[in-house]
Structure 1
Amino acid sequence: MRFVLTAFLMLALASCGLPRGGALQSEIIGNEAETRSDIAIYRVSREMLGTMSRWPAPDANSGYKWPARGRPAADKPIRPFDTVDVVVWDSEENSLLASNGQNTVQMKNMQVSPAGTIFLPFVGTLHIAGLPHSAARARVQRKYEEVIPSAQVQLNVTQGTRGTISMVSGVSRPGPIVVDDPNFTILNAISAAGGPSGQIENPQLKLIRGDQTYRRPLQDVLANPKYDALLLPGDKIAVEPDERYFRSLGAASKEAIVPFSRSSISALDAMSLIGGLTDNRANPKGILVLREYSPKAVRADASGPNNERSVFVIDLTTADGLFSAGKFQIHHEDTVLVTESSVASAPFLFGLIRQLAGTASDLSDL
């Protein structure tokens, strides 16, 4: 009777699933999954990382766009609303400009018009905006030499307001900043606004220029001078918290929505952020990263994933798997699933069997 009851109970246990916190690897990427046409499965390795480096971003909003730094002007260009003083040296006996006994004519406080021009006697309207001082002086002199061959020109410029940029949010002192220096960069603007707010974790920069919006982590701009772009009048800058996250599920030490704490996170970093694997449950050979690509990213060749729904399999029990996990980048809205070990429930099962065997023995004695 004891053995009959024990066998019956073991068969009952085998016919139903034991309680688990996550899926087995074979349930997600078993033989059936590998033959399906609506999902792609990739083993993360050194070779695979080389192939993935040529793939487009998972979606249209992934990655970062940022303007080129630009070249600082060696000589500040003249702009509308600057004030110009022109002195013409005229040694002609019958000067068109100078009075008797004078050899210079001074034309002061001429404001450059919104169209970028000034008016000069005997020359007319002359466009000088956008020219550095030396080039503007040479242009004025060439024009005067057409009517006064011996003319020599001196030109002085007093800068007007060069324009403003706007610090929108995420800094100690948001508001407009008057820009008088063409070499004024985005880090200059953040510094002038009192620096980023200390309450923003992993701050991200948003630069709005005309109809273009650019994004870049502040950490990247601080680390690489090429990202410290020169600002143009009308630019708008916001410092915002990083809204990216990934999901942690299964036999991980923490199942949660995990925000990005830095500009880039590798799969190995993700393992640390989720507290590692659950020792008595996790399958270190079955770390799965589930990712959905934009339809535009899908490719028929190796230049992109061959399916929107892609699963990347990471094996943390091999050297190549560990090194590759350190290079494999986690993207926004990825799901990191730590699968259950197939033997994780064995102690639980054997404990149940012992309890049931004891129950069967008690029933037999009755």
Structure 2
Amino acid sequence: MKALFALVLLISLGGCAFIPGAHVPYESESDDSTNLDDMVNIHTITPKLLQERMAKPDTTPVFNHQLELEIQDYDYTVNRGDILNITVWDHPELTIPAGSDRSPSEAGNWVHSDGTIFYPYVGEIKVAGLKVTEIRDILRKELAKYIASPQVDVTVASFRSKRVYMTGELKQPGTQPITNVPLTLLEAVSNAGGLSDAADWTNVTLTRNGETKRYSLRDLYRQGDTRENILLRPNDIIHVARNDAAKIFVLGEVGKPTSLNIGRSDITLAEALADAGGFAQATADASGVFVIRKAAEESGKIADVFQLHARNATALVLADQFTLQARDIVYVTAAPIARWNRLIAQIVPTAQAVYFFARAEDEVTDN
């Protein structure tokens, strides 16, 4: 029986090497093949680090000169499917009346699939790809053969040939026509009712001619960075992604381990801890609060690890200034005594079983 107890004691003393539960070590515990200390950057969250890394970006609005030039030079070109409204002043017989029961789009001149329209005295005119001013000049020149100094006006009664596609997390996704008024990304999103609650406003993609580019409405809305605003073109596809991937994970010795969506508001380390139920008072090591973040690819590291020593509660002021990023992992390590208690909780049932087995064996031997 003594030998059995010696065996149990030996297992207990060696148990430190396999104490149950994950933790973030304060010292290297790597093997010879992989030294994790060489693969991570470790930073302590201090006022100096917050000043260097968490400085608020310049919120001065950035003027987009390129966009303004494109808007100034913009002019709509007619295409197949559009409906034109042509007026010849003082010649009502050449103007199709709209009437009370007919809208301008119903009474206008439809641009056929071959890009032409038909007009009295003039015949078929190729109008696809032309501006309304160019169409007006053609009509005026041809009608001058029959009418002295004709006054012609041409407008687009219905824009049907060009559109953009709005998809994803918008309140009113769908198609929007390209008209004679320039349409920008910001205006298109507003016309679609704005972003839904599940939208990731940092991940808005534009697909044009088979190429996809990413834009951030956060920079546009918050900082007035109009470089993120562009002039849309026919057949552009705008997609607003969901914010499912924009999460942070709070694990370890907290009241309720969970994942949190960042949404449209930044989340600080203090907010994440509070939303996860705070520290588990009986088991958490407040000096071991870690934020694990994927390192930049060019750094050659796998992660940046930020440690907060929150044993003094005033250090939580630093936590409230530390802004988390998507896919960050917040981990609160267990206190050494908590880890030891977990080991004991696993060993005690085995020790009890050995004890009762040995006691039964002794009773059988004595009898």
Q: Which amino acid aligns with 1:161?
A: F
Residue 339 of structure 1, aligned match among 333, 340, 347: 333
Describe how 1:51-200 pairs up with structure 2 within 5 A: 51-52=52-53, 70-71=67-68, 73=71, 77-81=75-79, 83=84, 156-158=154-156, 161=159, 163-171=162-170, 174-180=173-179, 182-184=181-183, 185-191=187-193, 196=196
SS at match of 1:327: coil
Distance 2:304 2:316 in 1: 20
Does 2:201 match 1:202?
Answer: no
For 1:41, the equivalent position in structure 2 comes to: 42
The alignment of Structure 1 onto Structure 2 pairs a total of residues equal to 293
Distance 1:27 1:232 in 2: 57
Cα 1:308/1:166, change in 2 over 3 Å: same
Describe how 1:194-273 pairs up with structure 2 within 5 A: 196=196, 201-204=197-200, 206-210=204-208, 211-216=211-216, 226=226, 231-244=232-245, 245-256=247-258, 258-263=259-264, 264-273=266-275
Distance 1:183 1:28 in 2: 60
Q: Which amino acid aligns with 1:269?
A: E
User: Offset of 1:78 from its aligned partner?
Assistant: 3.3
Q: Which amino acid aligns with 1:16?
A: G
Q: Which amino acid aligns with 1:26?
A: Y
Distance 1:224 1:181 in 2: 29
Cα 1:237/1:276, change in 2 over 3 Å: same
For 2:285, the equivalent position in structure 1 comes to: 283
User: Offset of 1:48 from its aligned partner?
Assistant: 1.9
Unmatched tracts of structure 1, length 5 or more: 1-5, 55-66, 89-101, 145-150, 299-305
For 2:304, the equivalent position in structure 1 comes to: 310
**Native 8 Å contact 2:169 2:240 kept in 1:** yes
**Native 8 Å contact 1:182 1:230 kept in 2:** no
**Native 8 Å contact 1:204 1:215 kept in 2:** no
Cα 1:26/1:170, change in 2 over 3 Å: closer
Distance 2:169 2:24 in 1: 44
Tell me the C-alpha RMSD between the 2 structures.
Answer: 5.6
User: Offset of 1:229 from its aligned partner?
Assistant: 5.7
User: Offset of 1:167 from its aligned partner?
Assistant: 2.7
User: Offset of 1:343 from its aligned partner?
Assistant: 4.2
Cα 1:34/1:69, change in 2 over 3 Å: farther
SS at match of 1:47: helix
Q: Does 1 or 2 have the higher relative contact order (CA < 8 Å, sep 6+)?
A: 1
User: Deviations 1:218-268 (Å, cap 9, x if unpaired)?
Assistant: x77766765676543322233442132233332122334x14242332222
Distance 1:315 1:156 in 2: 73
Identical counterparts, % of pairs = 16
With the length of structure 1 as denominator, give the TM-score of the two structures.
0.56
Distance 1:272 1:69 in 2: 45
**Native 8 Å contact 1:288 1:338 kept in 2:** yes
User: Offset of 1:315 from its aligned partner?
Assistant: 2.3
User: Offset of 1:276 from its aligned partner?
Assistant: 1.4
**Native 8 Å contact 1:41 1:312 kept in 2:** yes
User: Deviations 1:10-52 (Å, cap 9, x if unpaired)?
Assistant: 887454238554425424699x999943222111223223443
User: Offset of 1:112 from its aligned partner?
Assistant: 9.7
Distance 1:87 1:317 in 2: 84
Does 2:316 match 1:322?
Answer: yes
Moved more, 20-29 or 272-281: 20-29
For 1:58, the equivalent position in structure 2 comes to: none
SS at match of 1:243: coil
SS at match of 1:332: coil
Cα 1:169/1:246, change in 2 over 3 Å: closer
* Structure number having the greater helix percentage: 2
